[in-house]
Amino acid sequence: MRGPLVGVVVVDLSRALAGPHAAMMLGDLGARVVKVESPAGGDDARSWGPPFVGPEDDEQSTYFLSCNRNKESIALDLKSEDGKDVLRALLRKADVVIENFRAGVMTRLGFSTSELHEINPGLVILSITGFGHDGPEALRAGYDQIVQGEAGLMSVTGSGPDDVQRVGVPVADLLSGIYGAFGVVSALFERAGSGRGQVVRTSLLSSIVGIHAFQGTMATVAHAVPLAQGNHHPSIAPYGLFRCRDGSVQISVGNNSLWQRLCENFGIDPATPGLETNAMRVTNRARTIATVEEAFSEFDAEELLLMLDAAGIPAGKVRTLDEVYKWPQLLSQGLKISVDHSTLGPIDLPGPPIRFFDAADGAEVETTRTEHTAPPTLGEHAATIKAWLDESAE
């Protein structure tokens, strides 16, 4: 086992996506992650599909497979005393516990924050909710698309103000998991000095507000209301998706030096009235787009991408996901991994996005976790986990 969190034990009580994604990130870093599921069907995501894969009597949800690698599974009825006893034993061994129940559920189960720290004072507790743990709407159930709308992300996504769209992946859930994992690692660092475990709280709402970036300061500082405007940047031009003879390409002209290069290589007059500066090109966006697309109209996409690369202009194409997972650059970064699933056999999964290297002796040696385990079937590791707990008790 490799990774900076080797030796850390995580108890994952969460389900669906935000909490499981956080736990998976910690597992990718080498932590031992024990996923605690309900005996009645397990994690909700096990039933989310199609697509399902595998034999008809034991189908697996590809949704579940996306966020549960590098975990062990045990099924516990947390409303029973036996289930609670096993959970308490796990918590005594754990460094981290993750939950994304609605507010008050953990307390009703007998595992409030104070009770958790009575069991294990060093426990780092990650709690993820939809709209925050307090405030007038704390009890609202949080689902990704609802929060994308409520937190303003959909208002700046889509072809225009009358065609707002959700982001194509559950970005509020995923970002909550990422922020949550970041908070856990920070709390573990703090615990090394204090010896006490902190409570880390985040939410789907805060995760979306956390990525408002320049759209947020446009609203809070300039008091302007950002709106959706399709595949073109609201503050930089030309920056977006542009049509050419047989399709389209994307370019990012982030400064006037790049604009000059674009003009020189594609016959555009850089002194065209209204297009001399970035601010002018943004103000006159429609004319900017028309000018660039006219220059690109005589080239096919592949030829155009080669020309843009030669000119030093950042450019790319829009790939489908099947193309992405065959891309040599993706493969070179370890972003596709192979694991052996207990019922599906060998399968490929998206890989961890972070790599680690030891450069202490001047030569970089990769220390990233490279051996991964498949997402577990429900209760797959119950015997192993209970044996580990019994051994510890003895």
- Please list the active-site residues: 173
Nearby residues of 104 by Cβ (< 8 Å), 6 or more positions away: 139
Burial class of residue 48 in the structure, from the number of CB atoms within 10 Å of its CB (0-12 exposed, 13-18 middle, 19+ buried): middle
Spatial contact of 283 and 235, defined as CB atoms under 8 Å apart: no
Q: Which residues of 185-207 are buried (b: 16+ CB within 10 A; e: fewer)?
A: bebbeebeeeeebbebbbbbbbb
Nearby residues of 82 by Cβ (< 8 Å), 6 or more positions away: none
Spatial contact of 194 and 137, defined as CB atoms under 8 Å apart: no
Nearby residues of 194 by Cβ (< 8 Å), 6 or more positions away: none
Burial class of residue 56 in the structure, from the number of CB atoms within 10 Å of its CB (0-12 exposed, 13-18 middle, 19+ buried): exposed
Q: Which two tokens stand for residue 374?
A: 């498949």
Residues shown for the chain:
394
Q: Render 109-121 in DSSP notation, one character per residue.
A: TT--HHHHHHH-T
CA distance 187 to 124: 7
- One-letter amino acid identity for 163? D
